[in-house]
Homo-oligomer: A and B are copies of this chain.
Amino acid sequence: MSEKKLITPRKLSGFMELLPHKQMILDEMIEKIKNVYQNFAFTPLDTPVLELSEILFAKSGNSIDKEVYNFKKGDTDICMRYDLTVPLARFVAMNSENLSYPFKRYQIGKVYRGERAQKGRFREFIQCDADIIGLDNLPLVADAECLNMVDKVFGALNLDIVNRISNRNILFGYCEGLGYKDQTQDILIILDKIDKIGQENAIEELAKIGVKQEDCNKFIALTLKKGNFDKVIEEIENLTDNETYQKGITELKEISSYLKCYGLDQNRYMLDIGIIRGQNYYTGTVFEAIVPTHPEFGTVCGGGRYDNLAEYFTDKKLPGVGLSIGLTRLFDLLDQNNMLPEHSLTNIDLQIIPLGNTLLHCLELQTYFNKKIVCDVNYDNRSFKAKMREANKREIPFIIVVGEDEMNNLKYNLKNMKTGEQQLLSKEEILKTLGC
């Protein structure tokens, strides 16, 4: 046979892949997020990773974003999903008769964006979404429920965040009130980037699209308002009696009262009129959570209210509100900053090391222990010394070495690998010692 040519094993760049220890940490984080979503009575949804391009780009008239992975299979034009919201819209439109409303679903799944890979940007990443969809209408308390969940999720992840909340009706109404209704989108785009470009450049850009100098300053001043919810509301509630603006004020007051009932810590959320969120489908509440000790993390969770989830697929009116956590990026940031939750290196509670001709007996023991704990027999061919070294390196908390004496006497030396302490015990006593 001719010699085989080896292919260098490698993965696509921009795709996260973890070694076992890190993967266990990520899985545990997913589990915690899932538990919060479930605790609030959200049910799981799992849509396909692939969608018809026509569906995914219904909004843009089938002009497919360059970032999206898109291909043909036979005659079918297919895309990999780039978020979990369009698939949700498609799902709800298809199944609207078979759902209970408000429909609360969570979906934790991978989405794909084939953008240029760069540090901190992933082409495949896990989104953890939770949305509430109403039929015809959805009370504002649903928005507050999502805000409450943001607080609870990051509480479960043990991460101190501040959720910056606004309501787009404020800036919508302010534009309207000052006579710039038709330029609302353009103005919001500029206001959205004050942080990046600075106030002076923002004023310049506003002036360029025809905003009067004095109004420029007003827009900037309002956009910069942030702080304690009730205090900021008090400061801005009389700026204009425009109806849309006042709707925003009323909604913010209502949200504030709900958040107090939920008992949220006021240090963990604030009103921030500068929160705009690019996507123009948000119509009311918007929010972005940040980690105040690490502003460079940017937004770790965002979301908001949209008036009509599935308008491209159905005449039914389906208002919704939701939140989304980009978990892969968050995990990567935490990892780089040594902020990952602690997790033991191994998932093994007890390892059995057979010595001499005791393997069969060790398998019986393992079967006994497996009913209660994670137990493993190290049946590798390496030397006893190598196995002990390995157990140490892997930080396996307890081991028993089973030689023929142990097998015959049914008593085993349980070794605590951290303290070095040993106890001669029966299998029943071992379980008891390990807390079962």
Contact = CB atoms under 8 A, between A and B. Distances in A.
Interface of A: 4, 6-12, 15-21, 23-24, 26-27, 38-41, 43-52, 54-55, 58, 69-71, 73, 76, 78, 89-91, 93-95, 98-102, 104-105, 110, 112, 114, 123-124, 134, 137, 139, 141-142, 144, 148, 257-258, 261-263, 310-315, 346-348, 359-361, 363-364, 367, 370, 374-377, 379-381, 390, 393-394
23 contacts: A4-B312, A6-B314, A7-B313, A10-B52, A10-B55, A12-B78, A15-B50, A18-B46, A19-B98, A23-B46, A38-B374, A40-B376, A41-B348, A41-B374, A49-B112, A70-B71, A73-B114, A100-B393, A257-B360, A258-B363, A261-B361, A261-B363, A262-B364
Contacts of A52: 10-12
Given A4-B312, A258-B360, A379-B142, A9 B90 contact: yes
B39 A23 contact: no
Contact of A44 (B11, B24, B78, B261): B24
A95 B91 CA distance: 39
Contact of A8 (B105, B313, B360, B361): B313
Nearest to A359: B141
Given A51-B12, A314-B9, A379-B142, A45 B23 contact: yes
A347 B71 contact: no
A20 B43 contact: yes
Nearest to A105: B20
A189 B58 CA distance: 48
Given A100-B390, A363-B262, A381-B137, A20 B4 contact: no
A310 B142 CA distance: 51
Given A48-B124, A375-B41, A11 B360 contact: no
B51 A11 contact: yes
A24 B93 CA distance: 20
B381 A9 contact: no
Given A20-B105, A23-B44, 6 more contacts: A19-B95, A19-B98, A40-B374, A41-B376, A50-B124, A102-B379
Given A12-B78, A139-B380, A347-B38, A54 B7 contact: yes
A94 B314 contact: no
A355 to B, nearest CB: 15
Nearest to A17: B47
B381 A139 contact: yes
A54 to B, nearest CB: 6
Nearest to A34: B27
A7 B312 contact: yes
Contact of A11 (B40, B90, B348): B90
Contacts of A313: 6-9
A102 B381 CA distance: 10
A21 B12 CA distance: 36
A73 B14 CA distance: 13
A48 B9 contact: no
Nearest to A261: B363
Contacts of A7: 54-55, 58, 312-313
Residue among A8, A18, A258, A314 with the highest chain B CB neighbour number at 10 A: A8
Nearest to A7: B58
A372 to B, nearest CB: 10
A362 to B, nearest CB: 9
A23 B43 contact: yes
B9 A50 contact: no
